[in-house]
Amino acid sequence: MTRKTTTKQQLLEATLKLISEKGYLGATTREISRLAGVTELTLFRHFGTKERLFEELLNSYTFLPRLKEILPAVDQLPYEDALSLIAMNFLMTLTERKLMIKILLTEIHLYPEKIRNVYSAMVNESRATLGNYFTTLQKKGVMRSVPPESAVRAFMGMLFNYFRTEIMIKENGVSKKRMEQNVREFVDIFIHGTMKHH
């Protein structure tokens, strides 16, 4: 690993830590560079501005990179297993970034417009990526014909609400085993609905 990569990674990790503790507005570039063990000048040389640094943080630490990484693997799995894998990865990403997400949810209205736009674009890209996967399933005849965007909103919304109520609010969190069981239940409801078929 090159020195440049190491420095950039140190700065991103320091930013994640400080923003999780103090929020975007509270974390200064001086504190971030100090925590990363570099000069403030080095931070600006790598990222230019605090906005650009935060943009890079969002690009690196949201669900989108992980979703793109696992989609080729889920292609080979049965529908239920594929959705369970996507759901578990989504929840694990949210859990790992719990502090940052808490800050994002409380502060997003205070951010500069550019940051809000970057955040919205990434949420939209995650939805579009999953939407494309659902469209592929519809073409294969695996999933019934529903608007993919609505299916994505229902699926991710259900998971995000679970994360917010069960993982963010409860201090001790949820065990991985319990989370897997809940995910299976959600996936079952998503795939089969709630109406009893005769």
Show pLDDT as tens, one digit a residue, over the chain (198 residues).
455 558 999 999 999 899 888 888 889 999 999 999 999 999 999 999 998 998 888 888 888 888 999 999 898 899 999 999 999 999 999 988 888 888 888 887 877 787 788 888 888 999 999 999 999 999 999 999 999 999 999 999 999 999 998 888 776 678 889 999 999 999 999 999 988 876
38 and 67: one domain? no
Distance from C-alpha of 106 to C-alpha of 109, rounded to nearest angstrom: 8
pLDDT at residue 4, rounded to an integer: 56
How many domains would you assign to the chain? 2
130 and 79: one domain? yes
Of 58, 80, 95, give the one whose Cα is nearest residue 173. Answer: 95
Question: Token digits for 42?
Answer: 């080095």
72 and 169: one domain? yes
67 and 28: one domain? no
Distance from C-alpha of 118 to C-alpha of 56, rounded to nearest angstrom: 10
Residue 55 maps to a domain? no
pLDDT at residue 5, rounded to an integer: 58
pTM of the model: 0.84
89 and 177: one domain? yes
168 and 82: one domain? yes
70 and 10: one domain? no
Residue 53 maps to a domain? no
Residue 198 maps to a domain? no
Residue 77 maps to a domain? yes
CA geometry: angle 179, 169, 13, nearest 5 deg: 80
Burial of 182 (0-12, 13-18, 19+ CB in 10 A): middle
Check which CATH number belongs to the domain holding 32 and give it.
1.10.10.60
Distance from C-alpha of 94 to C-alpha of 189, rounded to nearest angstrom: 21
Q: What range defines the domain where residue 68 resides?
A: 62-192
- Residue type at position 51: E
Residue 168 maps to a domain? yes
Residue 80 vs residues 84, 85, 127, 188: alpha-carbon distances, Å:
6, 9, 19, 7
